[in-house]
Structure 1
């Protein structure tokens, strides 16, 4: 394996890329609600995502001793520890209400990962619920926390944005579920397992259309955001439509995960025009 490929795989396996996606969504929220460009909330989301995702991915394997702590995993563990320190420092700078709510989402993440009750599986393996927990956690971290931390008044725009963000993340996760269809336990009852791949794609397209038209329910409609959302919807719809079980892992772990980053970059580009 070449050094560039090893570095790229480490970048993906250590959750840096997904953390950048989370960071981009927080910055999108700051942009949408015209929140002061403070870095402690985006940094908390970035570092916290690295810690949370690596915990979710590797905790169960480590506890069951199904993985050996080679140099690759040791490096991920060291990075996660550094990220934990970064998340703790950023957490300290958050408002008290934001800290309380973030702890609630941490508890939900732990519920998702750890079996708290004897003879039961963790929430990650509860039938049909995985996609809703993940989507809710992402809405909480990338939208609810930044808005709460800013102290701005919660208008109807906030609730419409929460619904939009949930739909966006729901569709994005269905791409992962389609790609993982061959490997997922049938008892998980993921959306494509229950509905079939074709129906899942059609439902996803419908949800993206709803996502787009919810923008018109805002108190203040911005033409630039409507243009940006068209680009987002088309991009995500194409990724969803061409997803299949035979796609490379990079289709989701890099390209699909890049969509929130791409969305934010498009916003920056449009703002400069």
Structure 2
């Protein structure tokens, strides 16, 4: 059992799980816009997420705090190194204009961790900005990357998809921030810190109502997709309802990040 938990923790801590969530959202974009499966885009998003998230999580530990390198830490660094070269391989297969999106996401990731002004805080520590930044990057990678690489026209459907994706990630981040109330410093001024747990949940419920109503405006609206998205929205509402700062790390790091994968499975039937 101990071996299972060690493998499971490595799976979570090495960002493989969150990378699967990004991959799932990219696949959902392909499905919902009838774009042919694009391997370079899907795998660049997957491997790039592992690099980006591991850089965000472990750069400060290694560069600033100089935490002792454990076997698990070394394994995560090794995995990230391998993923870097794989993502670079798929990066060169992207359309020229799409590469700029990938570079932009990389720059935001670096600035999120490393201050771009000496002796100033990084973007992660800018009060209130984290949740919007993360949502924008996820929209760029999971919607705009596959759309632009496929030369799909930027129409009303793409705009609605982008809004829905932003709301989805924003709500998931609200859930993370509620659970992290017990750890986050007050200087971060997260939404739950400012509104409180209860009002933050009501904000999430309101956003999820907008999320599903946007489906009705889509030019390719079908009853089947609306029902599937409605079921997914209900799952999000229930998950939000049971969120609290007393939840353990697996509630968000595994179950929360598994929700996009659940959405893909629902749409695949």
The verdict on a shared fold, with TM-score over 0.5 as the criterion, is: yes
TM-score (ref. length: structure 2): 0.98
Instruction: Give the corresponding residue for 1:102.
Output: 102
* Residue 5 (structure 2) pairs with residue 5 (structure 1): yes
- TM superposition shift of 1:66: 4.5
1:29-178 alignment, distance < 5 Å: 29-178=29-178
Mapped partners of 1:201, 1:97: distance in 2: 39
Determine helix, strand or coil for the equivalent of 1:174.
helix
Structure 2: state its 5+ residue gaps: none
Determine helix, strand or coil for the equivalent of 2:246.
coil
Mapped partners of 2:90, 2:33: distance in 1: 21
Mapped partners of 1:69, 1:96: distance in 2: 38
Mapped partners of 1:244, 1:163: distance in 2: 26
Mapped partners of 1:253, 1:67: distance in 2: 22
Q: Residue by residue, what CA displacement relative to the aligned partner does 1:48-89 show, whole Å, maximum 9, x if unpaired?
A: 000000000000111123521110000001100111111101
- TM superposition shift of 1:99: 0.3
Mapped partners of 1:239, 1:44: distance in 2: 29
Mapped partners of 1:53, 1:122: distance in 2: 15
* Residue 191 (structure 2) pairs with residue 198 (structure 1): no
Determine helix, strand or coil for the equivalent of 1:180.
helix
Q: Residue by residue, what CA displacement relative to the aligned partner does 1:11-56 show, whole Å, maximum 9, x if unpaired?
A: 0000000000000000000011111112111100000000000000
Mapped partners of 2:92, 2:183: distance in 1: 40
Name whichever of 100-109 and 122-131 sits farther off: 100-109
* Residue 18 (structure 2) pairs with residue 18 (structure 1): yes
TM-score (ref. length: structure 1): 0.97
Determine helix, strand or coil for the equivalent of 1:120.
coil
- TM superposition shift of 1:257: 0.5
- TM superposition shift of 1:231: 1.3
Mapped partners of 1:46, 1:188: distance in 2: 29
- TM superposition shift of 1:147: 0.2
Mapped partners of 2:172, 2:66: distance in 1: 29
Instruction: Give the corresponding residue for 1:244.
Output: 244
Mapped partners of 2:54, 2:265: distance in 1: 26
> Segments of 4+ in structure 1 off by > 4 A?
none
Instruction: Give the corresponding residue for 2:225.
Output: 225
Mapped partners of 1:265, 1:175: distance in 2: 22
Q: Residue by residue, what CA displacement relative to the aligned partner does 1:208-251 show, whole Å, maximum 9, x if unpaired?
A: 00000011111121222101111111111111111111111100
Mapped partners of 1:122, 1:77: distance in 2: 22
Determine helix, strand or coil for the equivalent of 1:181.
helix
Q: Residue by residue, what CA displacement relative to the aligned partner does 1:69-112 show, whole Å, maximum 9, x if unpaired?
A: 11000000110011111110110110001001211121111111
Instruction: Give the corresponding residue for 1:253.
Output: 253
* Residue 164 (structure 2) pairs with residue 179 (structure 1): no
Structure 1: state its 5+ residue gaps: none
